[in-house]
Amino acid sequence: MDYKYRYDPESDVLAVYLSKKPFDYATEMGDLIVHFDKGDTPVYVEILNASGFLSGAAKTLPKSKQRELVHHLSAS
């Protein structure tokens, strides 16, 4: 499945859809809110304060992958 995502710059929230299944409950883990289906499988993730989260996460990638990620996100 292709993951779908949506970024709202006004609220700085990145929403990532992992599945089309309906979610049953959610768990908040800091700046992450993970929504699960009835089988406890993650189906939707919200990343609050996404720009800071992604900046920090990107720094752990090799430089070539950082450029690839920036290119991919800016093309969306």
Q: What is the pLDDT of residue 19?
A: 92
Closest of 18, 16, 2 to residue 50, by C-alpha: 16
Reported as a pLDDT band with limits 50, 70 and 90, residue 72 is low
pLDDT of 15 > 90? The answer is yes
Enter the pTM of the model: 0.71
**Tokens describing residue 26:** 């959610």
Q: How far apart are CA 59 and CA 43, in angstroms?
A: 26
pLDDT category of residue 73 using cuts at 50, 70 and 90: low
The identity of residue 75, as a single letter, is A
- pLDDT confidence of residue 70: 65
Sign of the dihedral defined by the CA atoms of residues 50, 55, 66, 9, in that order: positive
What is the predicted pLDDT for the residue at 21? 93
